[in-house]
Structure 1
Amino acid sequence: MKIVVVSAGLSSPSSTRLLADRLTAATLAHVDAEPEVIELRDLATEIAQHLVTGFPPARLAAALDAVAAADGLIAVTPVFAASYSGLFKSFFDVIDKDALTGKPVLLGATGGTARHSLVTEHAMRPMFSHLRALVLPTAVFMASEDWGDEGPAQRIARAGAELARFMAPLARHAAPDLDTAAALAPRSRTGAITSVGAKHGIEVVPFEQRLAALGAG
């Protein structure tokens, strides 16, 4: 499995990247996955070019493909004017409209004061819901004074565990194809399929009905 981490921090190092790393570590404590970090500040020029031309340069195209192929996404932005940053929004403006459908997404944000703590709810969550992502219940906001406190650390741990839990079924419970369903279905002694879910398009033939048909023949 693969986790893609999108960080919109502008400085290096940045508190946004630090939060992204902590959320990643909290997730990897519960699931075996390969992380890939996308630093949007390195793609700012390419994002602007794509917005103007409609064609992504190679590096941006690779980043967009990575997000689309990820089993889980961690998205973290600094707060600007009480919302996500323009760079953060621009990246998700150019992503394919179906790339995030059903994908579990963990939200994070950083800001100077706790007054911006609801940015994950009033700005980020509606945006990802519009993209049809599966937005996790727990989002994490870190103000400057929060670093080192136990409360945010517990919230980060809970958020990481949630992402891992939502990612795991994607690997373990992928819907079988028709041939697999038929092969795994229970059979009567005559070889007839006696139980297969209706979603696979196979008619269910109860054992008693099959037995009666054999007797009539």
Structure 2
Amino acid sequence: MISVLLVDDQPLLRMGFRLVLETQPDITVVGEAGDGAEAVAQVIALSPDVVLMDVRMPGMDGIEATERIARDHTGSRVLILTTFDLDEYAFAALRAGAAGFLLKNVEPAEMIAGIRTVAAGDGVVAPRLTRILIETFTHHTGARPASTDDPRLDRLTDREREVLIEMARGLSNAEIAGELGLSEATVKTHVSRILPKLGLRDRVQAVVLAYQTGLLRPP
């Protein structure tokens, strides 16, 4: 069973998410929280597999809560819920250690798939939204990508760098295989080598790194 903690300051939204998730035989909602501080306390008490986290909440927000959970409770992975007008906050949460993000108006099937993906140890990356996040973040903060001379990139082979770029575009392993003329098993092998070489936890962090280093630039 995948245990989930729901974190949102709107009780009706939590109720809706609970109703959707509890229809699944492999997912159980073990608790709810209305702000970041309560979320951290619930993670300590319940050790959920996945924390479905809102970003903007009273008191401790979702970004600070995500940072604390990612730092101190690595067995619980955070999946951010966001809306288009909060993109820069979602990006900050990804940098804080979230495993991915979904829109609040996401289809139930996509939310369930995202929770399963995060619980399995991978990240949820929506390519269109990732580009919007990066673009919004750089626009609002004045930040600019660093140059591609980041020493971490030197650890990659040319092929691994190509795979990283396709990952950052949001392609799945199967899609990367088709794009580069490789087998899906070979792509999986490359991905499994790229992440530890770069000191990254999952594909979401790989996307952020690719944009931050300028390896791939926002449109």
Smaller-chain TM-score bracket: 0.3 to 0.5
Q: Which has the higher contact order (CA 8 A, sep 6+)?
A: 1
TM-score scaled to structure 1, two decimals?
Answer: 0.42
Q: Higher helix share goes to which structure?
A: 2
Q: TM-score, normalised by structure 2?
A: 0.41
Larger C-alpha radius of gyration, 1 or 2? 1
Which has the larger share of strand?
1
